[in-house]
Structure 1
Amino acid sequence: MYKSLLPLPLALLLGACATTPQPIAGEFTAVTPAQSVASGRTGERVRWGGVIIRVEPRADSTCFEVLGRELDSQSRPRPRDRSEGRFIACRAGFYDPEVFVRGRELTVTGTVTGSERGKVGEYEYTYAHVAADAIHLWPKRPVVVEQRYWGPDPFWGPGWGPYWGHGWWGPPPVVIVKPRPQPQPKP
């Protein structure tokens, strides 16, 4: 009897690892921030994510400037060097800039309300603008340091065998979790 129940918890555990968090779950229009600006789309429900560039608390809301990134199967921004365009997401309430710091990953859901002109350095930039109804701050990613065996393989001789060299032949990576240094609060 117990053998038949074993797959159930395992399936639930694995299923929970690959799901989108409830506040940002749902069906949304598949358009990037750059496509939204180029086509002038408004009123569409979107789920966008990326890396926080700047947080601006206002009198009744907080606005986030975000470097848009492609989302993975959990709706978390992928850690890639490619941008899908910058966007500004505003949501009612106060979100502390010391928690929502530059470089953290964020996913928002909301309605595209148009675009907003601004500057990136001296460059005139048009941001997609979203009235956010949900904001999800992702936990920091662990820092991964790989440990490799750089000597002769004890089983196969020098330079040969499953425990030597690069790729999947080396031992598994050693994961070291170190928090990133946080910027100091401005006086």
Structure 2
Amino acid sequence: MKYIVFVISALTLSACVQPPKPLRGEFSDVSPQAYQANPVKDLVVRWTGFVVDVDNQNDHSCLTIMAKVPDELSRPSKRIRLDQGRFLACKPKFLEPEFFLKKAVTITGPVKRLVNKKVDEMDYAYPLVDAQIIYVW
């Protein structure tokens, strides 16, 4: 009997799992790789991954993020290790590199366009997100 109560409790609690409040809402399910193949202006996304670079300019800063498949909380999944390409998340303020580098983040906001930059010697088309929320895990 205790086992049945435990299983029912666990199932009930797992059904309530949802992203933190700042990450809730309606978002497109298009991945960064899919966006590269078919860019749609101002598509609102919630993408997650790991920060691999921070680029601070005079009037804005951009995080370069290696995209991952999200889990039920919208953070990078530990179960699914599939890469989903890279993307840029930019804000009109300074972003401290020490705070963001190598951290897991989830970004929300509209995708504006593709930006061509190099990854080592290779040209790469990065989807550019106008980051409204940068949630550090």
Q: TM-score range by the shorter chain?
A: 0.7 to 0.9
Q: Give structure 2 stretches of 5+ with no counterpart.
A: 1-8
Q: Which has the higher helix share?
A: 2
1:49, 1:106 within 8 Å by CA — same for their partners in 2? yes
Structure 1 residue aligned with 2:84: 84
* Moved segments of 4+, more than 4 Å: none
Matching of residues 154-165 of structure 1 within 5 Å: none
- Which string of whole-angstrom CA distances, capped at 9 and with x for unpartnered residues, describes residues 138-158 of structure 1? 0xxxxxxxxxxxxxxxxxxxx
Matching of residues 16-165 of structure 1 within 5 Å: 18-79=17-78, 80-101=80-101, 103-138=102-137
CA RMSD of aligned residues (A): 2.1
Larger-Rg structure: 1
Structure 2 CA distance for aligned equivalents of residues 86 and 56 of structure 1: 15
TM-score (normalised: structure 2): 0.84
Alignment coverage as a number of residue pairs: 127
TM-score (normalised: structure 1): 0.62
2:69, 2:81 within 8 Å by CA — same for their partners in 1? no
Higher relative contact order (CA 8 A, sep 6+): 2
Q: Percent identity?
A: 35
1:53, 1:67 within 8 Å by CA — same for their partners in 2? yes
1:24, 1:135 within 8 Å by CA — same for their partners in 2? no
1:34, 1:84 within 8 Å by CA — same for their partners in 2? yes
Residue 71 of structure 1 aligns to a residue in which SS?
Answer: coil
CA 1:106–1:113 in structure 2 vs 1: closer, same or farther (change >3 Å)? same
